Amino acid sequence: MSNFNNLLAEANLIDGRWTGADNGRTIDVTNPATGEVIGTIPNCGSDETDRAIAAAQSAFESWSRSDLSLRVRLLHDLHDALMDNQEPLAQLLTAEQGKPIFEARGEIAIGAAYIRWFAEEIRRAKGEIVPAPTADRRLLVTHHPIGVVGAITPWNFPSSMLARKLGPALAAGCTVVAKPATATPYSGLVWGKLAQDVGFPDGVVNIVTGSSSAIGGSIMASPEVRKVTFTGSTEVGKTLIRQSADTVKKLSMELGGNAPFIVFDDADLDAAVEGAMIAKFRNMGQTCVCTNRFYVQAGIHDAFVAKLKDAVAALVVGNGAEDSVQQGPLIDGGAVAKVEEMIADAVANGGSVIQGGKRHSNGGTYFQPTVVTGASADMQVATEEIFGPLAAVFKFDNEDEAIAAANATEFGLAAYAYTRDLGRTFRLNERLEYGLIGINSGLITTVEAPFGGMKESGMGKEGGSQGLDDYLETKYMCVAGL
Ligand code: NAP
């Protein structure tokens, strides 16, 4: 289980050099499955971040004008470096984050796929020659790298969330200052190591760890950072949006969710339960697109609940490093306390715990995968992101009621529905206020499609042909007097 030792970067990457914090301070990183310390990372602040920004600004001069073919080749090499190290990288990811090893392998693979996607997509980032109103003019619309990019990522997908930012930024010719989450920094830092190994020039990728407010503060205050891409909570996202005003930065915000999962009477029951398990329990319920609220139509409700209960009871809980495990520990004690609080609130408001409901006998931050029925709109589970292995089931009677309930939240990231009615599928597409909609599937993220939320779940898209837009500035040039 220490296969990843040569990928464990316990320093920060600034201008091509691996360094510690100026004051020598470090932060311990622990394995949530065992409580053991994996290693340390530098506890950096604004001075180190300012240097990383200066390095990125300096590197931008040449990187932004580098040959497209060079950038494409380096990105393909980065993809290959990821996949050549898929197994140790997955082990490292599981060690710091807790997710089952098969999920970690999948995260490394999709991260690599994003890098390859953007290596391909940048070759199609075409401009336009627009018909001019007069014969003596030519109107050109051209795309240019936006500049230094600040990238701040969360702990739940510490590898692939950075891939979705590094891929388009590097392809476009931008340079990057990245700040991984403190709980799971190594899966982020290793991107710096691999980028260096395959030959990205010094200063193109910089990675800083430590105080989020100091590092974030420097990134947000810097006039040289032209774009910030953030994945994390809505609360922190709003702070960054406010801080961006003084330097008018372009922003991408991938924020929290409160996904509804609607099961209609005409659904394929087995498929719905299978999709429910993926959409709810992947990463122990700690994904932004995880189902928060199951809405199940009255005619199928009891059958769905019975099958869901059995499937949840069969989940194998343990250290994610073991191949048979399907549910690892939660990220920390706060996450456990939040799930407990939400279960207590649901029970106090008339809900019933029909499966799980307690801390797991493994101790630590393990929690029993849980199903609560009889959920209602006045419970916390209806309005707050659960981010844990708790499935809350609401009952509904008709389509209008389900859509209204699904939309009754300030969030708008992912929504799922199971139905065999084609007309209803299109009504859902038009009426659900969500950026991602899965019909008859609980797992829809793919590099080819734009990922991003509506309402307070954020702005901007990652992946798809749209995923490059945020890293490119569009210029219009008029050539007159011809
Ligand atoms: P978080 O607390 O918002 O942290 C995200 C990142 O922001 C971390 O690197 C964190 O650093 C940093 N940060 C915290 N305060 C900051 C500040 N004042 N200035 C600058 N950076 C700051 O979120 P999380 O708990 O890691 O992740 C879970 C959340 O992310 C959930 O709400 C989930 O829905 C959301 N998420 C959204 C998507 C999406 O694509 N929409 C994907 C995954 C996750 P530290 O780690 O040092 O605190």
Q: What is the pLDDT of residues 5-29, one digit of tens each?
A: 999 999 999 999 999 999 999 999 9
Q: What is the pLDDT of residue 213?
A: 98
Query: And the tokens for 70?
Result: 């060079």
Q: What is the pLDDT of residue 138?
A: 98
Q: How far is the CA of 84 from the centre of ligand 1 (A)?
A: 29
Q: What is the pLDDT of residue 1?
A: 46
Q: pLDDT band at residue 356, thresholds of 50, 70 and 90? A: very high
How far is the C-alpha of 140 from the C-alpha of 123, rounded, in Å? 18
* Average pLDDT estimate for 136-157: 98
Q: What is the pLDDT of residue 313?
A: 98
- 44 Cβ inside 6 Å of ligand 1: no
Contact residues for 109 (Cβ-Cβ < 8 A; gap 6+): 83, 86
Q: How far is the CA of 232 from the centre of ligand 1 (A)?
A: 3
Whether residue 155 is predicted with pLDDT greater than 50 in this model: the reply is yes
Of all protein residues, whose CA lies closest to atom 40 belonging to ligand 1? 254
Q: In the β-sheet with 414-418, what is the strand arrangement from edge to edge?
A: 352-355, 370-373, 390-396, 291-297, 259-263, 414-418, 436-439
* Average pLDDT estimate for 181-203: 98
* Average pLDDT estimate for 44-58: 98
Substitution site in 231, 244, 258, 292 for ligand 1 pocket (most atoms within 8 Å of beta carbon): 231
Mean residue pLDDT across the chain: 98
Q: 90-116: buried (b, 16+ CB within 10 Å) or exposed (e) per residue? A: bbbbbbbbbbbbebbbbbbbbbbbbbb
Active site residues per annotation: 254, 288
How far is the C-alpha of 51 from the C-alpha of 14, rounded, in Å? 7
Whether residue 2 is predicted with pLDDT greater than 90 in this model: the reply is no
Helix, strand, or coil here: 367? strand
